[in-house]
Amino acid sequence: MSNNDHSTSRRKFLKNTGIGVAGTIVASTLSVTGSVAEEAKNISLPDSPHVSKTLLKMAKDIYPHEMIQNKYYQKIVDDLAKQQKRLIDEGVAMLDEQSIAKLGSPFLQVNYEPDRVRLLRSIEETTFFIKVRTALMFGLYDNPELFPLFGYQGSSVEKGGYLNRGLNDLDWLSE
């Protein structure tokens, strides 16, 4: 199957998909995977530094991992912000508005983590939040570059599988 077919069918599906996480999950692969592995090192310049910084903070509340460097989070959300500029710009504006109303300052300036998390919980069903979250889900957990941090070994066919490579090396349980 050519890459082209692949992304056309993804696009078609995206168009037909309502909100709902599995649908969104599938739809989001369209915009996220592929690019991540190829060029994680070139952090793309965000269109707006505020949007970019806010998204990074949000990303690290959604899937907080000490072991993952900021550049990975940043790349994922910046790519999304570029692909879906309007939705993301409006989403960040909405987030700030609610943050100011409930917590007295824009999201970026809220230092207390539980406050930020509560705010994010209150918008977790919005299209904006779901888009950001699913982009992160693919960008972090379907990213071969990050697999080793989780102890996941990814593709194995090119190494001959595990038949002779640690298939049964569990040694911490006694019979």
Partner 1 sequence: MTNIAKFALDDDSLVVIIGSGAGGGTVANELAQKGISSVVLEAGKRFTLEDLKNNEWEMFMKLSWLDKRISAGGWHHSKNHTNLPAWIVKGVGGSSIHWAGVSLRFKPHEFKMKSTNGNIEGANVADWPVTYEEVAPYYVKAEHKMGVTGKATDTPDLPESSHTKLHRIAAERTGMTFTNAPMAINSVPNDGRPACQQIGFCMQGCRIGAKWSTMYTEIPKAEATGLCEIRPNCMVLKIEHDKSGKATGVLYVDKDGNKKLQKARIVCVAANSIESPRLLLNSASEMFPDGLANSSGQVGRNYMGHVTGGVYGVFPEPVNMHRGTSVPSLITSEQANNPERGFVAGYTLEVLSLGLGFLSAFLKPGTSGWGRETAEALENYQNMAGVWICGEDLPVATNRITLHPTEKDQHGLPVPVITKTDHNNDVVMRNHAYSQMAKLYKSVGATKMHNLPAYPSSHNMGTNRMSEHPSDGVVNKWGQAHDVPNLFISDGSQFVTSAAVNPTLTIVALAIRQADHIAGLMKSGQV
Judged by CB under 8 A, the stretch of 38-46, 79-87, 95-103, 160-168 that binds partner 1 is 160-168
Among 42, 45, 49, 172, binds partner 1 (CB under 8 A): 172
Among 4, 49, 101, 163, binds partner 1 (CB under 8 A): 163
Shortest spacing between CB 45 and partner 1, in angstroms: 27
User: Which residues 119-148 are close enough to bind partner 1 by CB under 8 A?
Assistant: 121, 124-125, 130, 133, 137-138, 140-142, 147
CB 77 within 8 A of CB 135: yes
Quick one: CA dihedral 133, 139, 141, 146, positive or negative?
negative
Q: What mask of x and - would describe binding to partner 1 in positions 48 to 87, judged by CB under 8 A? A: -------------xxxxx-x--------------------
Nearer CB in complex with partner 1: 45/170: 170
Residues in contact with partner 1 by CB under 8 A are 1, 6, 9-10, 12-13, 16-23, 25-26, 29, 33, 61-65, 67, 117, 121, 124-125, 130, 133, 137-138, 140-142, 147, 150-157, 160-163, 165-170, 172-175
